[in-house]
Structure 1
Amino acid sequence: MNLITDPDQVRATLINAPVPAVPAVHAPVGVAWLRAHVPRFSTGAEHERLRALVTAELDRLSPADLRRRAHTARAPLPHVRVLAEALGLQGISVEAVALVAAHYQPHEPQDPAADEAVAELVAACGGIADDATAARICLLVQACAATGALVANARQLNATGTAEQIIERTMDENPPLRSTRRVVDGEVVELDMRHPGLGFGAGPHACPGRAHAIALAAGIIEESA
């Protein structure tokens, strides 16, 4: 697979190139169903429609409140617990979220346990397998590894300063998202995301929860300081 490393070319590709498509599925609820109903793997008008559902969920959440909650959140995966509770989802298993996150990308192998975990999360979100439920699950799943890695990388940096300063430096020097994929001239290419200013992406698929992720990470970093 071709790897694009030049930061200007990476940014231009993020802005202009579509994500690799996933097939529409008419199958039981599982990882393939989730991929087909989230903005992460869609393009164009469908992406805009699904992304609007995600941003509507985020708009209900106060980053300041997430930060306060993160100060006292319990392990494991405190950021996932805080986000689920702030969304009003009290019965979420963080272990199920982590399992789905590990198999979320289309190039990851199929796993029956991950499919069962998606079904478990749908049930915890009210039991209706629709786009609104998928939006809530994708918020948890996409925050799981990314925000967790942000906190871990910030701690490894062993820097001083405010939580925001530490996070900003981490995003420039050791961001949690190392690479992503797009389609250029009919071929899937990999983009090197390890450049200042690209930690939260760019273009139509730029992270809509940037402020929320920073707030969660800051709260956890402050609690452990």
Structure 2
Amino acid sequence: MNRTVPEITDPDQVRATLIGAPVPAVPSVAAPVGIAWLRAHVPRFCDGAEHQRLRALVTAELDRLSPADLRERARIADGPLPHVRALAQALGMQDISVDAVALVAAHYQPFEPDDPAADEAVAALVAACGGAADDATAARICLLVQACAATSALVTNARQLDADGTAEEIIARTMTENPPLRSTRRVVDGEVVELDMRHPGLGFGAGPHACPGREHAIAIAAGIIEGSK
């Protein structure tokens, strides 16, 4: 975890903060298509009515995806980042660059440094979505980006456990013993704080920003685990 901001480690306080405290906001200003544009058009970095509006676009995309189909796609996917590839294919983005998704994911958080290559990667993803730089496109991109590192870490951590049990059982143990989400940030009394998320029951977050794709993420991770056995 980043030690440059105050931390909250008590699990009850972490949960209460997730439920009641806002996320660090990003500027909602007009910007060329790039990382800043993406941050300003996804639910991850806003609260209130705007968060609900943008989150509804994300959940609408998820609602048209079958976890069972994602699981099968992930089971047979090959190459790097099979979970990103499976999700992109299910979304109808057949020619997506998983390298572009990974680059955007590495610079997604507002505390990460700006990178012209990441801006170009966002533009490439917008083009892969049909070229319309709007909220619906941002919703599809954010699904890929937010799944990228988190699902990679979930699968990696699951593989560190013994292979006894079903894929779901292995994933459940992973979420308890070694969850992929290590920390997140909120604003408390005007100050950005870091929340320790390494507690049972917090692997997919809590409160308004809890992961809306929990079932889908588990299905994809299960498919990858099954495909590697």
What is the one-letter code of the residue matched to 1:118?
Answer: V
Once the two structures are TM-superposed, the CA of residue 203 in structure 1 deviates from its matched residue by 0.2
Residue in 2 that maps onto 1:30: 34
- Match status 1:7 vs 2:11: yes
Alignment of 1:44-59 (within 5 A): 44-59=48-63
- Match status 1:94 vs 2:98: yes
Alignment of 1:179-190 (within 5 A): 179-190=183-194
Alignment of 1:165-176 (within 5 A): 165-176=169-180
- Match status 1:76 vs 2:80: yes
What is the one-letter code of the residue matched to 1:187?
Answer: E
CA offsets 1:84-137 (integer angstroms, 9 cap, x no match): 000011121000000000000000000000000000000000000000000000
Residue in 2 that maps onto 1:60: 64
What is the one-letter code of the residue matched to 1:52?
Answer: A
In the alignment of these two chains, the number of paired residues is: 225
Alignment of 1:155-170 (within 5 A): 155-170=159-174
Question: What RMSD in Å do the two structures reach over aligned CA positions?
Answer: 0.6
Residue in 2 that maps onto 1:132: 136
Give the Cα–Cα distance (whole angstroms) in 1 for the partners of residues 171 and 73 of structure 2.
18
Once the two structures are TM-superposed, the CA of residue 202 in structure 1 deviates from its matched residue by 0.2
Once the two structures are TM-superposed, the CA of residue 25 in structure 1 deviates from its matched residue by 2.5
Give the Cα–Cα distance (whole angstroms) in 2 for the partners of residues 183 and 159 of structure 1.
40
Unaligned runs of 5+ in 1: none
Once the two structures are TM-superposed, the CA of residue 157 in structure 1 deviates from its matched residue by 1.8
Identity of aligned residues (%): 84
Residue in 2 that maps onto 1:118: 122
Give the Cα–Cα distance (whole angstroms) in 2 for the partners of residues 203 and 41 of structure 1.
14
TM-score calculated relative to the size of structure 1 = 0.99
Once the two structures are TM-superposed, the CA of residue 159 in structure 1 deviates from its matched residue by 3.9
Runs of 4+ with >2 A deviation: none
Give the Cα–Cα distance (whole angstroms) in 2 for the partners of residues 2 and 157 of structure 1.
32
CA offsets 1:136-176 (integer angstroms, 9 cap, x no match): 00000000000011000000122411100100110111111
CA offsets 1:13-43 (integer angstroms, 9 cap, x no match): 0000000000013121000000000000010
Give the Cα–Cα distance (whole angstroms) in 2 for the partners of residues 91 and 32 of structure 1.
24
What is the one-letter code of the residue matched to 1:31?
Answer: I
Give the Cα–Cα distance (whole angstroms) in 2 for the partners of residues 158 and 42 of structure 1.
39
Give the Cα–Cα distance (whole angstroms) in 1 for the partners of residues 219 and 49 of structure 2.
30
What is the one-letter code of the residue matched to 1:172?
Answer: T
Secondary structure at 1:211 match in 2? helix
Secondary structure at 1:157 match in 2? coil
What is the one-letter code of the residue matched to 2:58?
Answer: V
What is the one-letter code of the residue matched to 2:193?
Answer: V
